[in-house]
Amino acid sequence: MYEKTLVLLKPDAIERQLIGSIITYFEEAGLKIHGLKLLKAKKSVVETHYQEHKEKPFFPSVVEFLTSGPIVALVVGGYESIAKVRKICGDTEPGKAEVASIRGRWAHISRHSMTGGILKNLVHSSDCRESAAKEISLWFDECELLDYSSPNDGWFNF
């Protein structure tokens, strides 16, 4: 089934100038970009975004990290894209992420920060349909999302 999911490129991805590489990764996997913006996130939005983690010890550090610099918010669509995008992003802990995933490929140098402070793992992606719907409406207005056809639709999306 065709699904849309929310992806955030975290401040480390922007600072490391990986925006293009990461978006290319999604596009080459047959996923379509429906929404795209560069922004400085508001603390309240990030707190809502990560509300499932609000009791966890790392909550303040992840909120601080996400508001520390520019981020890119994306809505990515495709056949079973929620699970596919999670796979492409890789394990939360970059040292455990598949080498060919975004985190395994570019965030592996951050692996030692898992126990200490901020875990810089480059990307966020929604983990299920319910979170995808909530997160897309948290980060995007309806008018910022566009549908369009592509000659690749027949290859990737059915």
Select the span of 18-26, 33-41, 121-129, 134-142 touching ligand ADP (CB under 6 A). Answer: 121-129
- Dist CA 1 CA 81 (whole Å): 9
- Contact with ligand ADP (CB under 6 A) among 74, 119, 132, 136: 119
Determine contact, residues 123/57, Cβ cutoff 8 Å: no
Instruction: Provide, rounded to whole angstroms, the least separation between the CB of residue 93 and ligand ADP.
Output: 8
Instruction: Provide, rounded to whole angstroms, the least separation between the CB of residue 131 and ligand ADP.
Output: 9
Instruction: Provide, rounded to whole angstroms, the least separation between the CB of residue 84 and ligand ADP.
Output: 15
Active site (annotated) includes residue 124 = yes
Q: Taking CB under 6 A as the rule, does residue 45 contact ligand ADP?
A: no
Q: Taking CB under 6 A as the rule, does residue 62 contact ligand ADP?
A: yes
Nearest to 93 by CA among 74, 70, 66, 113: 113
Instruction: State whether the Cα torsion 12-15-9-24 is positive or negative.
Output: negative
**CA angle (65 as vertex; 128, 132 as ends), nearest 5:** 15
- Contact with ligand ADP (CB under 6 A) among 114, 133, 138, 145: 114
